[in-house]
Amino acid sequence: MKSTCAVAPLALLLIAALSSINTRSVSAADDKGYAGFEKWVMEYGVSKSGAADPGFLKAKHEFEDALQKHDKTAAATLLNDNFQWVTSDGEQHSKALVLEDLEPLAKNNEGALDVRTTDFTGDVERLIGLHRNERFVHLWAKNHGVWQAFVFLDIPLPKERKLDVDPPNPPKDQGAPCINPCQTVGEFKPADASQAEVLKTWLILKNSEWHPNAEVWASHSDVYHETITAGMDLPMLQHVAELAQARKIYGEDGGNSGEPVMQMKMFTFNNVVIQQNLQGRGTKPVTWVMRLFVNRGDEKHPEWKIALSAQTRIRKNMDTKNVPDY
């Protein structure tokens, strides 16, 4: 298999150990904190990441060649009309801006290390890696049978990486109500049935973070899910463990709802939906967020599940009137 999955080594050991065990009921928050994921694996099985699509590999090679040659014509055909390059300080570059001068993106795209590629139903390819002392997440999408770069996101490296044994942070404003993003996301209207289902799934996920519920969160998450911010990177297993520990330590109101959504967009690519949000609590958005949802469409995975949450801060909007930095 050409692609590698974004699952912690402990998760892989757990999956192997459970492969011959029949389904059984397990508490979502035992002393180990991993039972929610254990139950998820036994009930739903493990999704296949699949090999990287040959058409995607060809398009990616052609795009890298176009960047090196500063070939704007070739690059234009390989960028989706909604393409965005978001730098680690939150600056957004549209397709038009990138094509005005390919040099900055060409330089930024050099020296990629530890790249992990995961295929999602042949509709979207997710690349996670390192370059230029930053992490990056690239999404490529098949648009009417043609592979195109859809979004490139750069994320600062965390000053300290969270460990499996680190306790979750205590909740902020414990007991405070959560309207946005737990009940509503402002003016966003789904454009199709897939986006409507994704919105329902996302609201369930936000509520299971606000009131920590590892079992509910895990049942709506793809096994290849990763959460990546400037402050942490969490594979699915560790995320589940943190929710279980948060509920154990701080109780039912022991989570955080997250920043309100100021603008939401969704883009549908067959069995994958990409969500892009601007979020913040002040007068300006301070966080640019990208999420990926997948519907594998088989008996074991009949629903939409989150498979990525990645974000960076919009530095120019970080002031005393908005949310403080990480």
**Cβ(78)–Cβ(148) below 8 Å:** yes
CA distance linking residue 201 with residue 192, whole number of Å: 15
HSE-CB of 105 using CA atoms within 13 angstroms: 32
Does 38 share its domain with 60? no
CA distances 39 to 67, 140, 267, 295, Å, are 46, 32, 31, 20
Does 136 share its domain with 224? no
Does 144 share its domain with 185? no
CA distance linking residue 238 with residue 12, whole number of Å: 12
Which of 95, 126, 156 is the last residue in one of the domains? Answer: 156
Q: Where are the alpha helices (DSSP H) in 251-309?
A: none
Q: Which pLDDT score is estimated for 47?
A: 57
Does 181 share its domain with 312? yes
Does 219 share its domain with 313? yes
Does 136 share its domain with 284? no
With both helix axes pointing from N to C terminus, report the angle between 9-18 and 236-250 in degrees, rounded to the nearest 10: 90
Return all residues near 80 (Cβ < 8 A) that are at least 6 apart: 95, 141, 143, 148, 149, 150
CA distance linking residue 260 with residue 228, whole number of Å: 18
In a domain, 322, yes or no: no
Does 46 share its domain with 97? no
Does 287 share its domain with 302? yes
In a domain, 202, yes or no: yes
**Cβ(215)–Cβ(39) below 8 Å:** yes
Q: Which pLDDT score is estimated for 175?
A: 82
In a domain, 163, yes or no: no
Please report the DSSP string for 130-188 in residue order: EETTEEEEEEEEEETTEEEEEEEEEEEPPSSPPPTTSPPPPPSSTT----TTTT--TT-
Q: Which pLDDT score is estimated for 10?
A: 40
Does 34 share its domain with 90? no
Q: Looking at the 3D structure of the chain, how many domains does it have?
A: 2
Give the residue ranges of the chain where pLDDT is below 50.
1-37, 320, 323-326
Q: Which pLDDT score is estimated for 164?
A: 64
Q: Which pLDDT score is estimated for 42?
A: 53
SS3 311: strand
Q: What CATH number corresponds to the domain at position 250?
A: 3.10.450.50
CA distances 277 to 227, 253, 260, 273, Å, are 15, 25, 10, 13
Does 181 share its domain with 285? yes
Does 186 share its domain with 146? no
Q: Where are the alpha helices (DSSP H) in the chain?
A: 9-18, 35-44, 54-69, 72-77, 95-100, 103-108, 193-210, 214-219, 236-250
Which of 156, 190, 219 is the last residue in one of the domains? Answer: 156
In a domain, 31, yes or no: yes
Where in the sequence is the domain holding 199, given as residue range(s)? 9-50+176-317
| φ/ψ (deg, to 5) at 215 | -65, -45
CA distance linking residue 157 with residue 73, whole number of Å: 34
Neighbours of 104 (CB within 10 A): 14
**Cβ(274)–Cβ(139) below 8 Å:** yes
In a domain, 14, yes or no: yes
